[in-house]
Amino acid sequence: MASERGQQASLTPLPSVEELPTLSDGGYEPERVKEAFESFRRHTTQLQVQLRVLQAAARSGQVEPTGHAVRMDALHMIRAAADMADTIERDAQTASAAQVRRTEEEVSRRQRELQEGEHEVERYRQESERQRAEILNAARNEAREAQAEAQRHSTAEIREAEARANRLLEQARHQATELTNSVRAEVEQTLEWARAQASAVMARAQEGAEQLLAAAGLGDEAIAAVAEKIVEAAQAATEASRGRAASGGAKEASSPGAPSPPASAAPPLSVPAPVEPPAAPSDEEPDGRDSA
């Protein structure tokens, strides 16, 4: 029994799939796979040796192994090799399936990441388009509001300017009307004063001429003719002065900006008292004229 345990202990240990190191792609290292096959071959050879030893020990004497025993040993070895091949094939299929599964998972994961990236890019593009549209709409609204505000301001300023112009024009018209009325009133007052003065002067001149002619001893007809001529000359002078005053008043009315003459310079409205006629000559004068 001790020898059997020693022989079993001297057997090469069989490798397992769990002990084989894997690569990053899911496969096994080629060198370790070769070492596993070599260990399996040594283990099989040792089993064959032990089997032969046991068979030799069980027999008595030096007996050659029969063909049946050799065939049985070969069948056992073939069966063991087939089992080992099946195990390796199953392990390889399992590893390849796991590798394929991991590859499919990796491909699926990469596809999901790619789709997520595409979705993120599409979302970013849509967000950018939305922000651009919002900014463009906001800019357009601000431009329209600014244009409308400018139009309102310009319209209000135009209306205010028109109102100021209308007020100034109305004020200028009112002032011009007032100045025209004032000048017309002053001209009329001046004309009235001139007429009154002319009437008074004519009356005094006529009275003085009559007195002088009466004193000169002329008849009534001669006195009337001379008085008429004097009156006509005075009327002509009065008409000439009236025409000059009217032309001066028209010039003043045509220039409303000119200052009106002061009230102190206006002629008096009251008609002055007529000048007293000269005293009648004494009796000595006709005598002297008669003597002459």
Residue 56 resides in a domain: yes
Residue 264 resides in a domain: no
**Tokens (6 digits) for 109:** 């994961």
Residue 81 resides in a domain: yes
Reported as a single tens digit per residue, the pLDDT across 30-67 is 777 778 777 877 777 777 777 776 766 666 455 565 67
Tell me which residue range forms the domain holding 101: 2-118
Most confidently modeled range among 9-13, 163-167, 230-234: 163-167
Residue 171 has pLDDT above 90, yes or no: yes
pLDDT of 63 reads 52
Residue 266 resides in a domain: no
pLDDT of 8 reads 45
Contact 223, 210 (CB under 8 A): yes
The single residue listed with the structure tokens 């790619």 is 114
If you write DSSP's letter for every residue of 146-178 in order, what string do you get?
HHHHHHHHHHHHHHHHHHHHHHHHHHHHHHHHH
pLDDT of 11 reads 61
Q: 286 Cβ partners below 8 Å, 6+ apart?
A: 217
d(CA 274, CA 191): 19
* DSSP state, residue 205: H
pLDDT of 107 reads 92
The single residue listed with the structure tokens 């008609």 is 271
d(CA 41, CA 35): 10
Residue 102 resides in a domain: yes
* DSSP state, residue 259: P
Residue 96 resides in a domain: yes
pTM (two decimals)? 0.32
pLDDT of 200 reads 83
Give me the chain's average pLDDT, please. Answer: 74
Query: How many structural domains are present in the chain?
Result: 1
Q: 183 Cβ partners below 8 Å, 6+ apart?
A: 249, 252, 253, 260
Reported as a single tens digit per residue, the pLDDT across 246-265 is 665 555 545 544 444 443 33
Residue 9 resides in a domain: yes
Residue 13 resides in a domain: yes
The span from the first CA to the last CA of the chain, in angstroms, equals 220
